[in-house]
A and B are shown apart, each in its own frame.
Chain A
Amino acid sequence: MSVATTHDHHHDHHGPPRGWQRWVYSTNHKDIGTMYLFFALFMLFFGGAMAMYIRAELFMPGVQLASPDFYNNMVTDHALVMVFGMVMPAAAGMANWMIPMMIGAPDMALPRLNNLSFWLLPAAAILLMLSIVAPYIFPDGGTPVNTGWTLLPPLSVQNGIGMDFTIFAIHTLGVSSILASINIVTTILNMRAPGMTMMKMPLFVWAWFFTALLLIAVMPVLAGAVTMLLFDRHFGTSFFDAAGGGDPILFQHLFWFFGHPEVYVLLLPSIGVLGLVIPTFARKPLFGYKALVYGMGVLAALGMVVWAHHQYTIGMSLVATNYFMIGTILISIPVGLMLMNFIFTMWRGSMTFETPMLFGIAIILMFSFAGVTGVMLAVVPADMQYHDTMFVVAHFHYALIPGAVFGLYAGVFYWLPKWTGHMYNERLGQIFFWWTTISFNLTFFPQHFSGLAGMPRRIVDYSIQYTEFNMISSIGGFLFGLSHLLFLYIIIQTIRGGAKAPAKPWEGSQIGTPGLEWTLPSPPPFHSFTEAPVIK
């Protein structure tokens, strides 16, 4: 905390560095946050283009656009890009921008590490792109990465050189996430302004605290698993080969020990955003702040111990399956608590419906729907029917698009005035909201039906009985993709100008939490707090 008062003098008189050095050598949390956000925006369009390809291929039966392997490669990389390239960096960008300002710190605790954790991301993105083209440019390049994002052996051992690029991309992404998480935990624990106790922190800060702890706990497991895969591929080991004494299921356990907590890594930052947006526009303090904080802790802890519900069909013992089933169903308790907190925050409030709030309300509705299908999937015997059908695809897109992505949109619109100093165009923001929400539902709701009727996931071609639902889904998908051009336009327009934003653009934005970010002008100065603010 004393850092805040001693750090300022030698920078203050010469302002931000100019030109490319400002960005490449940056140690400023806002500049790095901006780079994270733009990187995420780029990857959103990259991953979105792959989704458009997938929906175009599935528009009608028959293989029209490319080989099944290329299709499966697109499915794999759509997931990897969206999870590691889009949602996580976007959430990390918001963390970089907002956490120091919310807790009254001048910057992140480890600014140079912060620079490194960002610049690892473009490197990883290049590796991922190489993994797509490698099979075609190397002689005997073998199969593209056709495994789906779970990279399950033995299929991933059969793949060509593209798989090695994918493995190295995952290593790089993992290092980036762990470094960023260490930085965030250190910042939250050490850099809070005097008087800012843990229980006074805005919910977004709490959400990122749990997220970062989860990442530090599970990312190394994924790194270990893909390293073992690399050894199986090239160095003659048999970790995952039953013929050599290994176990193909071991990889699944390792992957999902990472993969399930990863779901909460994607969700929690957005829940943190909701914890600010809903009270602001309801003009009323968050209902059950403590319950939400503890709820997130319980969610993170439970999320660590139920990974095998992704593998109900591998043939576990009756006792193990029962345990994973009941553990998974119990997750509905903290999630139910969260939904209750948000609904009762709106209750007896005084709501206005600016774009962030519209997204907030839509998230509550659609995410509870994802929770309901989640309970259905948790029930083992029923899951044996749903397993690897489009029903699962529909479920996790309902969880991840409203739960994570729409939460990020809510955050972007909520903080755009603060970041840029300009108000965004509210009318366009609302059009964007309705356009995405309607097209999202048009895309993914029919997939519940085709999934229940038995359509498997990750197939390039399907029998004609699923045609209607896939056509609706594809049209919805194209509309959903197209809506993001409007999103891009709104952001560029806001950066370039518009009505000046006051320090506190939203009437209700200091209710309930200390809200230190709103005490700064919009946009905030290069070093947020030159003197540590004091919380009463």
Chain B
Amino acid sequence: MLPRRDKCLSALFITGGAWLFSSMAHAAYEYNLTPPASTLTQEIFDLHMLTTIVGTIIMALVTGMIIYALINFRHAKGAIPDQEFHNGWFGRWAWVLVPVIVLSIDLTIASSASSTLSSVESHDKADVTVKVIGSQWKWTYEYMDDDIKIVSNLKKLEPTDPLYLRDVDDPLVLPTGKRVRFLLTSSDVLHNWGIAEIVPKKINIPGYINETWTNITKEGTYRGQCYENCGTGHAFMPAVVRAVSPTEYEQWKVTRKAQQAQSAAEASADKVWAKAELMAKGEAVYTKNCLACHQANGQGLPGVFPALAGSKIANNTAALADHIAIVVKGKAGTAMAAWGPQLNDLDIAAVVTYERNAWGNTAGELVQPKDIKAAR
């Protein structure tokens, strides 16, 4: 018959264990490293399983020894302490034996890890090279061999959606079975482009270029996100890759280039745009690029990001030139980025128009693409 306290404790353990187990079963595929989908991550996954298994065996041994000691060397059982135990042969040699055993385990793991590390750091010729630029708070992908640029933003979803914080408006598209090299950099602070299924992480550092690579084996959509604390929007920076067959990839490139050429032509044409058109376009550009900081209602975050609604610049007819300059060139020492290199004249004209006419702002000017061209 167990004492009452022990009964309570074992009941607690059983309930807790059952609860843990049931929740694990519920999220059955979510408690190990994500299943790999590239040659390199497969190698890393195997290494992870090796260390996990070695670790589990060591833990079982340690736990077993402690439990054995707890059962057999108890005062309550009348155990007599062996005051000379540390002076026996074992006491004299254990400090050599144990390190030698640990060292041999260490070297097994290290040699296996070292060869995988060489594959991670190999710089063979790549079929596709993509530059991944992190910025607060979105990813920009540039295909180095083709004139294609993708800006990838969080797609806003409700917190109940299965893809909440996991989806973007414009994912990176890559071919399977090809060696893809990623050049990682950042335009403002540290970011870390991470998708565990396909790529080992390297951080994106402003002013530096890091390199990592993949060779995707399975078609599909792979989701990850930013792993280096980059400030306010850190939790809202998903990274999504759509892996397609090489033929589909070639077709996608052709369509994409055609779309890009069309919108560039539209932006550079000396067309004068009407207010409704500029406002609609401006709202779209604002939602995509500005909303994370200045918020949907233009109020910003007090003390952190300035409000645009009723601001001294956006709501003042005399300050139009300042407004355009700050959007095109950014503001040094703050999180406000220079949008000139990232957006075309039409987009900037539209967003400035939008900001001067939305949320009760009454500055009222229409800004045309030629005004931006002049201000650059």
Q: A residues near B, CB below 8 A? A: 60-62, 67-69, 72, 135-136, 140-143, 146-148, 152, 154-155, 158, 160, 241-243, 248-249, 282-291, 313-315, 318, 321-322, 325-326, 329-330, 332-333, 336-337, 339-340, 343-344, 346-352, 361, 364-365, 368-369, 372-373, 375-376, 379-382, 384-385, 387-389, 434, 438, 442, 445-446, 449-450, 452-454, 456-466, 468-469, 472, 511
The yes or no answer to B264 lying at the interface (CB within 8 A) is: no
Q: A337-B99, A376-B55 are in contact. Are A453 and B30 (CB under 8 A)?
A: yes
When the two chains form their complex, are residues B81 and A283 in contact, meaning their CB atoms are under 8 A apart? yes
14 chain-A/chain-B pairs, Cβ below 8 angstroms: A155-B190, A155-B231, A242-B208, A285-B86, A287-B86, A314-B210, A333-B99, A337-B102, A339-B62, A348-B73, A361-B70, A384-B200, A452-B33, A456-B235
> Quick check: B208 and A315 within 8 Å, CB to CB?
yes
Query: Is the contact region of chain A dominated by helix, strand, or loop, or is it mixed?
Result: helix
Question: Are B95 and A291 in touch, CB under 8 angstroms?
Answer: yes
Contact A372 B58 (CB under 8 A): yes
Q: Which of A158, A379, A438 has the most CB of B within 10 A?
A: A379
Chain A residue contacts of B203, Cβ below 8 A: 313-315
B265 within 8 A of A: no
**Which residues of chain B are within 8 angstroms of A337 by Cβ–Cβ distance?**
95, 98-99, 102
Docked-complex contact B234 and A61, CB < 8 angstroms: no
A284–B231 touching, CB < 8 Å: no
Q: B106: which A residues are within 8 A, CB to CB? A: 329-330, 332-333, 375
- CB of B114 within 8 A of CB of A372, answer no
Q: Distance (Å) between the CB of B190 and the closest chain A CB?
A: 6
Among B145-153, B219-227, B250-258, B318-326, the one that faces the other chain is: B219-227
Q: Of B69, B205, B227, which is within 8 A of A389 by CB?
A: B227
Residue B374 interfacial (CB < 8 Å) = no
Measured between C-beta atoms, what is the minimum distance from B299 to chain A in Å?
13
Counting CB contacts under 8 A, is B262 at the interface? no
| Of B18-26, B277-285, B352-360, B364-372, the one with at least 4 CB within 8 A of chain A | B18-26
Among B43, B79, B116, B159: residue with most chain A CB under 10 A: B159
A445 to B103 Cα, complex, angstroms:
27
Contact of A385 among B30, B48, B188, B304 (CB under 8 A): B48
A325 and B110 contact, CB distance less than 8 A: yes
Q: Is B32 an interface residue (CB 8 A)?
A: yes
A245 to B31 CA separation, bound complex (whole angstroms): 43
A314–B205 touching, CB < 8 Å: yes
Nearest CB on A from B68, distance (A): 9
Q: Is B307 an interface residue (CB 8 A)?
A: no
Establish whether residues B95 and A72, one from each chain, have CB atoms under 8 Å apart when the complex forms.
no
Out of B102, B206, B228, which one reaches A242, CB within 8 Å?
Answer: B206
Are A61 and B59 touching (Cβ within 8 A)? no
A60 to B119, CA, bound (A): 39
A468 to B20, CA, bound (A): 10
Q: Tell me the bound Cα distance from A344 to B99 in angstroms.
A: 15
Q: B237: shortest Cβ distance to chain A, in Å? A: 9
On whether the beta carbons of B303 and A136 are closer than 8 Å, the reply is yes
Tell me the bound Cα distance from A350 to B81 in angstroms.
5
Q: What separation, in Å, do the CA atoms of A282 and B66 have in the docked complex?
A: 13
Partner-A contacts on B (CB < 8 A):
9, 12-13, 16, 19-20, 23-24, 26-27, 30-34, 41, 43-44, 47-48, 51-52, 54-56, 58-59, 62-63, 65-66, 69-70, 73-76, 79-83, 85-86, 90-91, 94-95, 98-99, 102-103, 105-106, 109-110, 113-114, 116-121, 159-166, 188-190, 192, 194, 196, 200-203, 205-208, 210-211, 224-236, 301, 303-304, 333-335
CB of A137 to closest CB in B, whole Å: 10
Cα–Cα distance between A99 and B9 once the two chains are bound (Å): 38
Question: A380 with B19: in contact, given A343-B66, A351-B75, A465-B30 (CB under 8 Å)?
Answer: no
How distant is the Cα of A468 from the Cα of B23 in the complex, in angstroms?
7
Give the residue of A147, A340, A389 whose beta carbon is less than 8 angstroms from that of B98. Answer: A340
- Specify which of A136, A284, A388, A464 is in contact with B192 (CB 8 Å cutoff): A388
If A348-B85, A352-B75, A382-B44 touch, whether A154 touches B206 (CB-CB below 8 Å) is yes
Q: Give the chain A neighbours of B48 by CB distance below 8 A.
A: 376, 379, 382, 385
Partner of A382, one of B20, B51, B303: B51
In the complex, which of the residues A142, A249, A350, A468 has the most CB atoms of chain B within 10 Å of its own CB atom? Answer: A350
Q: Is the CB of A351 within 8 A of B79?
A: yes
- Inter-chain contact A456/B225, CB cutoff 8 Å: yes
**Which A residues touch B235, using CB under 8 A?**
68, 456, 459-462
Nearest chain B residue, comparing its CB with the CB of A453: B30
Which of chain A's residues have a CB closer than 8 A to the CB of B227? Answer: 387-389, 456
A511 to B229: give the CA distance in the assembly, Å. Answer: 50
Closest B residue, CB atoms, query A374: B55
Taking CB atoms, residues of chain B closer than 8 Å to A449 are 24, 30-32
Given the contacts A375-B55, A382-B44, A454-B34, A468 and B27 also touching, CB distance less than 8 Å: yes
Residues of A within 8 A of B55 (CB): 372-373, 375-376
Q: Chain A: which residue is nearest B228 at the CB level? A: A388
- Using a Cβ cutoff of 8 Å, how many contacts connect chains A and B? 322
Q: Which of A343, A350, A365, A457 contacts B75 (CB 8 A)?
A: A350
The answer to whether B74 and A351 touch across the interface, beta carbons within 8 angstroms, is yes
Q: Which 3 pairs, one residue from A and one from B, show the smallest C-beta to C-beta distance?
A: A242-B207, A372-B55, A459-B235
**A389 CB contacts on chain B under 8 angstroms:** 227
CA A8 to CA B300, docked complex, whole Å: 66
Question: A148-B229, A337-B95, A372-B58 given as contacts; is B201 within 8 A of A313 (CB)?
Answer: yes
**Of A148, A368, A452, the contact of B59 (CB 8 Å cutoff):** A368
B43 touches A381 (CB 8 A): yes
Instruction: List chain B residues, Cβ under 8 A from A136.
Output: 303
B-chain residues with CB within 8 Å of residue A314 when the two chains form the complex: 202-203, 205, 210
Residues on B with beta carbons closer than 8 Å to the beta carbon of A446: 20
Chain B residues whose C-beta falls within 8 Å of the C-beta of A385 in the assembled complex: 33, 41, 44, 48, 196, 200-201
Q: Which residue of B lies closest to A287 (CB)?
A: B86
CB of A214 to closest CB in B, whole Å: 22
| Residue of chain B at shortest CB distance from A140 | B303
CA gap between A242 and B208 in the complex, in Å: 8
Question: A382 to chain B: closest CB distance in Å?
Answer: 5
Q: How far is B109's CA from A458's CA once the two chains are assembled, in angstroms?
A: 30
User: In the complex, A340 Cα to B109 Cα: how many Å?
Assistant: 21
Contact among A147, A315, A350, A373 for B210, CB-based, below 8 A:
A315
Q: Give the distance in Å from the alpha carbon of A235 to the alpha carbon of B130 in the complex.
A: 37
Contacts of B32 in A (CB 8 A): 449, 452-453
Q: A315–B75 Cα gap in the complex (Å)?
A: 55
Among A287, A340, A380, A382, the most chain B Cβ lie within 10 Å of the Cβ of A382
Query: How far, in angstroms, from A313 to B212 measured CA to CA in the complex?
Result: 10
- Cβ of A121 to closest chain B Cβ, rounded Å: 27
For B161, the closest partner residue in chain A by CB is A464
Give the docked Cα–Cα distance between A458 and B94 (Å): 42
B165 contacts A462, C-beta separation under 8 Å: yes
Name the residue of chain B whose CB is nearest to the CB of A342. B66
CA distance A466 to B23 in the complex (A): 11
Q: Are A463 and B232 in contact (CB under 8 A)?
A: no
Q: Do A442 and B16 contact each other (CB < 8 Å), given the known contacts A452-B32, A454-B196?
A: yes
Q: B13: nearest residue on chain A (CB-CB)?
A: A438
With the chains together, A154 CA to B207 CA distance in Å? 11
Which residues of chain B have C-beta atoms less than 8 A from A72's C-beta? Answer: 229, 231-232, 234
Q: Is the CB of B102 within 8 A of A333?
A: yes
Q: How far, in Å, is B52 (CB) from chain A's closest CB?
A: 7
A282 and B73 in contact, given A248-B206, A381-B116 (Cβ under 8 angstroms): yes
Q: What is the bound-complex CA distance between A135 and B305, given in angstroms?
A: 12
Smallest CB separation, B125 vs chain A (Å): 18
B211-A315 in contact (CB<8A):
yes
Residues from chain B with a CB closer than 8 A to the CB of A384 are 44, 120, 200-202
- The reply to whether A248 and B205 form a contact with Cβ atoms under 8 Å apart is yes
Among candidates A69, A249, A348, residue contacting B232 with C-beta atoms closer than 8 Å: A69
Asked if B70 contacts A458 (CB within 8 A), the reply is: no
Q: Which residues of A contact B229 (CB under 8 A)?
A: 72, 146-148, 152, 155, 388, 457-458
B228 A347 Cβ-Cβ under 8 A: no
